[in-house]
């Protein structure tokens, strides 16, 4: 699909200010799309991930436009779909933090479950069922408690968090609108995907940023929860290409996007520290466990029970053979390359911050 001329096509991305939204907007602009994105009103700037794509609309015909909106406001969504009349909608907006969903379950359900319904209804109310293709950001969190390994499109779901339960509704309402109204509505069941612009509270970025800040002398230790959880981690840049391919298929369907490899949080810690030539030795048990940096002899990883979840997803490993066979999609970035790129990017930021700090002394 890369390189295909899509000039004149119009996409609407919800959640455009997030990690995936930013990568997808850039990818679609590169294909010639006009891209409209929905951002939330915020008291501070929240468009840092897409500022490089933005041009002042006063300059005339610009291909990237931002609109205020919210997944909890159907009037807003209907009006935007009516104004923009998109060929493709990518619904990426969500309260996407699994841990936070235990603290804000109702809001998570409102945005992540009912939000999907609101958007599908907007398409239907406006009579655009045959005109607008719809992508729903579904997730490997649907699999939750292990039923089958590796997890594929036919694996039964067993969500383990308010986030997973909300996304389960989003998944099925998308399937239902496809079957009930003949809409081109698809789920991408994406396994974890990360990047240098991953939110700082997700475990990969928390670790790579922590490693960089320890190396730059800005922090002493990283506080983590469950080190044994295993995830199938890929690169967001590869996955947004898969989202686009899902909407270019001949028939609407649901697809797993994954790498087929799994690693524990503990392995991720070790690999990230190895990027700055530090070897970690583990001492103690349970919440007393620490990761000692063999170079300095200091505890650079500590356990904080607050980061454990009431119910955990222990093991995710996906089988993307359907996407490979039907869409020609495969991930390009290895786990080691991903961690290397993230640590390198965080090191640049941490060293810059450290230099700024020492300049002010
Ligand atoms: P992020 O958390 O980085 O981005 C989420 C986006 O949704 C942000 O733009 C956020 O806005 C926006 N948002 C949150 N709540 C609302 C709301 N009520 N109304 C409008 N916008 C809202 O997530 P990712 O980019 O990582 O993920 C994109 C989607 O894919 C999400 O739906 C996520 O659940 C799903 N997913 C992600 C995976 C991953 O590994 N990254 C894997 C599988 C699925 P703001 O910037 O203002 O906070
Ligand atoms: P996840 O990602 O829950 O898989 O959801 P996250 O990075 O938050 O957690 C991965 C695993 O690491 C464990 N963990 C910690 N997690 C965080 N955030 N912080 C910690 O300090 C920590 N210590 C250990 C977690 O318990 C978990 O097992 C992500 C999100 O992007 C979802 O939106 C998406 O749907 C799924 O990936 C696929």
CA distance 234 to 57: 35
Q: Which residues contact 176 (CB under 8 A, 6 or more apart)?
A: none
| Chain length of the chain | 361
**Closest atom of ligand 1 relative to the 97 alpha carbon:** 2
CA distance 216 to 18: 27
Active-site annotation holds for 163: yes
Nearest to 242 by CA among 225, 227, 259: 259
User: Contact 109/164 with Cβ under 8 angstroms?
Assistant: no
Active-site annotation holds for 141: yes
**Closest atom of ligand 1 relative to the 22 alpha carbon:** 25
First to last CA, the chain: 53
**What is the pLDDT, as a whole number, of residue 358?**
74
Which of 141, 194, 275, 341 is the catalytic position?
A: 141
**Closest atom of ligand 2 relative to the 199 alpha carbon:** 31
Here the tokens at position 21 are 């939204």
Return per-residue pLDDT of the chain as tens, 361 residues: 445 678 899 999 999 999 999 999 999 999 999 999 999 999 999 999 999 999 888 888 899 999 999 999 999 999 999 999 999 999 999 999 999 999 999 999 999 999 999 999 999 999 999 999 999 999 999 999 999 999 999 999 999 999 999 999 999 999 999 999 999 999 999 999 999 999 999 999 999 999 999 999 999 999 999 999 999 999 999 999 999 999 999 999 999 999 999 999 999 999 999 999 999 999 999 999 999 999 999 999 999 999 999 999 999 999 999 999 999 999 999 999 999 999 999 999 999 999 998 766 5
Confidence (pTM): 0.98
Here the tokens at position 93 are 């907006």
**Closest atom of ligand 1 relative to the 19 alpha carbon:** 25
Query: Which residues form the pocket of ligand 2, taking CB atoms under 6 Å from any ligand atom?
Result: 96, 98-99, 139-141, 191-192, 201-204, 206, 224-226, 229, 231, 265, 307, 309, 312
Nearest CA to ligand 1 atom 20: 70
Nearest CA to ligand 1 atom 46: 17
User: Contact 204/198 with Cβ under 8 angstroms?
Assistant: yes
Q: 31 C-alpha vs ligand 2 centroid, how far in Å?
A: 32
User: Which ligand approaches the C-alpha of residue 222 most closely?
Assistant: 2
**What is the pLDDT, as a whole number, of residue 201?**
98
Q: 260 C-alpha vs ligand 2 centroid, how far in Å?
A: 18
**What is the pLDDT, as a whole number, of residue 4?**
64
Q: Which residues contact 127 (CB under 8 A, 6 or more apart)?
A: none
Domains, the chain: 10-197+233-261+315-333 (3.40.50.720), 203-226+265-313+341-359 (3.90.25.10)
CA distance 111 to 277: 42
Nearest CA to ligand 1 atom 27: 20
Longest dimension (CA), the chain: 66
Active-site annotation holds for 288: no
């Amino acid at each position: 699909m890369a390189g295909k001329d899509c000039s004149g096509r119009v996409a609407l991305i919800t959640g455009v200010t997030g990690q995936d939204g930013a990568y997808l907007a850039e990818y679609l602009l590169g294909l010639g799309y006009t891209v409209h994105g929905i951002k939330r009103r915020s008291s501070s700037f929240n468009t840092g991930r897409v500022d490089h794509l933005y041009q002042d609309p006063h300059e005339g015909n610009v291909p990237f436009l931002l609109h205020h909106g919210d997944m909890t406001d159907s009037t807003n969504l209907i009006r935007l779909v009516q104004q923009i009349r998109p060929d493709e909608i990518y619904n990426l907006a969500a309260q996407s933090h699994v841990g936070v969903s235990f603290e804000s379950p109702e809001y998570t359900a409102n945005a992540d479950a009912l939000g999907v319904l609101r958007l599908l209804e907007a398409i239907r109310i406006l009579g655009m069922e045959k005109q607008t293709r719809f992508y729903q950001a579904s997730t490997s969190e649907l699999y939750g408690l292990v039923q089958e390994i590796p997890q594929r499109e036919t694996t039964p779901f067993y969500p383990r968090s308010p986030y997973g339960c909300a996304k389960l509704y989003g998944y099925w309402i998308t399937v239902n609108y496809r079957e009930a109204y003949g809409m081109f509505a698809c789920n991408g069941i994406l396994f974890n995907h990360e990047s240098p612009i991953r939110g700082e509270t997700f475990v990969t970025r928390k670790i790579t940023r922590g490693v960089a800040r320890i190396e730059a002398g800005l922090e002493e230790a990283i506080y983590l929860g469950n080190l044994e959880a295993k995830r199938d981690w890929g690169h967001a840049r590869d996955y947004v290409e898969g989202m686009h391919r899902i909407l270019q298929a001949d028939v609407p369907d649901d697809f797993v996007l994954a790498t087929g490899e799994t690693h524990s949080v503990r392995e991720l810690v070790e690999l990230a520290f190895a990027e700055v030539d530090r070897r970690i030795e583990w001492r103690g048990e349970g919440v007393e466990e620490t990761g000692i940096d063999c170079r300095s002899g200091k505890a650079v990883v500590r356990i904080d029970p607050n980061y454990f979840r009431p119910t955990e997803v222990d093991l995710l490993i996906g089988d993307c053979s359907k996407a490979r066979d039907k869409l020609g999609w495969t991930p390009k970035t290895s786990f080691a390359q991903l961690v290397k790129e993230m640590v390198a990017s965080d090191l640049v930021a941490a060293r810059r911050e450290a230099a700024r700090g020492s300049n002010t002394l």
